[in-house]
């Protein structure tokens, strides 16, 4: 059997054209009972053994063509395309104050009127009124308390991204405490300074610590806080300016 199989392996590996039926001729039929067994053995040898002994230079041209094409096309394919931004992210990036709901925008702008009216009225009259300054501080204290309570309202719903933990709920109490302290000062100018601190803390909480807020709301909070702070600081500034003018007027009258 070994002497008969050696020529078969040699012919299969040297790629000489022959038919399997010839190799499984009378000699193999005398040694084997089943012709299909030897034919399957020959096919296995031709399929598995011969490619191992084939020199690498005999690769067909189609293999090199596919490798060359893959080499030229591998660079663009290797570059990972940046995934397109989702529609929600693109909408968030475009949101501005114009995209804010009309009720929220108009009510917020209307809520800034009492802050601005006090300094404007005193500047027009040319005199400082403690009652007007106290009214402005009282309204500022109510606004700061409202901003602190808004944090509670955002954290309490079950589907809210903010959890009702110690940090969120305790931070909601800080602005009302500053507002209450501002009302205890007899001088409204000191109360205005305390309210500026309360509004700054509330803005920091809403912008930095609660990113799930809509972008238009954050911009509304920033601009609203800027107007409120400038209005509150304008009241003590007017008091200083008007007091200096009054002292200068008295000195001129005495001289």
The answer to whether 144 touches 202, Cβ cutoff 8 Å, is: yes
pLDDT, average across residues 191-207? 93
> Which helix (H) or strand (E) is 148 found in, with range?
helix 130-155
Residues in the chain: 255
Q: Half-sphere exposure (CA, 13 Å, Cβ side) for 132? A: 21
Q: How confident is the model over 104-113, as pLDDT tens digits?
A: 999 999 999 9
pLDDT surpassing 80 at residue 118:
yes
Spatial separation of the C-alpha atoms in residues 235 and 240, rounded to whole Å: 9
Three-state SS for 15-48 is CCCCCHHHHCCHHHHHHCCCHHHHHHHHHHHHHH
Report whether pLDDT(141) > 90.
Answer: yes
Question: 171: closest CA among 185, 186, 150?
Answer: 150
pLDDT band at 244 (very low <50, low <70, confident <90, very high): confident
Tell me what pLDDT residue 144 has: 95
Q: State the pLDDT at residue 228.
A: 96
- What is the distance between the terminal CA atoms of the chain, rounded to a whole angstrom? 141
Cα–Cα distance measured from residue 208 to residue 213, given in angstroms and rounded to the nearest whole number: 10
> How buried is 98 (Cβ within 10 angstroms: 0-12 exposed, 13-18 middle, 19+ buried)?
exposed
Q: How much is the pLDDT for 113?
A: 95
Question: For residue 111, what are its two tokens?
Answer: 């809520």
In this predicted structure, which of 9-18, 157-166, 197-206, 227-236 has the lowest mean pLDDT? 9-18
């Amino acid at each position: 059997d070994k002497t008969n199989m050696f020529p078969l392996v040699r012919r299969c590996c040297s790629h000489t054209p022959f038919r399997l039926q010839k190799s499984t001729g009378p000699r193999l039929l005398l040694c084997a009972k089943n012709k299909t067994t030897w034919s399957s053995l020959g096919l296995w040898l031709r399929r598995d053994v011969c490619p191992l002994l084939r020199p690498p230079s005999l690769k067909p041209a189609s293999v090199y063509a596919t490798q060359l094409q893959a080499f030229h096309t591998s660079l663009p394919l290797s570059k990972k395309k940046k995934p397109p931004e989702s529609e929600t992210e693109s909408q968030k990036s475009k949101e501005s104050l114009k995209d804010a709901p009309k009720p929220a925008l108009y009510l917020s702008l209307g809520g800034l009127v009492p802050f601005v009216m006090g300094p404007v009225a005193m500047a027009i009259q040319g005199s400082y009124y403690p009652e007007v300054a106290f009214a402005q501080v009282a309204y500022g204290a109510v606004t700061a308390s409202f901003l602190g309570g808004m944090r509670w309202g955002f954290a309490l719903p079950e589907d809210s991204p903010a959890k009702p933990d110690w940090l969120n709920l305790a931070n909601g109490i800080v602005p009302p405490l500053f507002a209450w302290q501002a009302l205890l000062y007899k001088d409204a100018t000191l109360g205005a300074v305390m309210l500026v601190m309360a509004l700054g803390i509330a803005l920091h909480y809403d912008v930095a610590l609660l990113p799930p807020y809509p972008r238009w709301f954050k911009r509304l909070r920033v601009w609203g806080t800027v107007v409120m702070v400038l209005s509150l600081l304008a009241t003590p500034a007017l008091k200083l300016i008007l007091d200096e003018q009054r002292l200068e007027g008295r000195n001129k009258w005495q001289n």
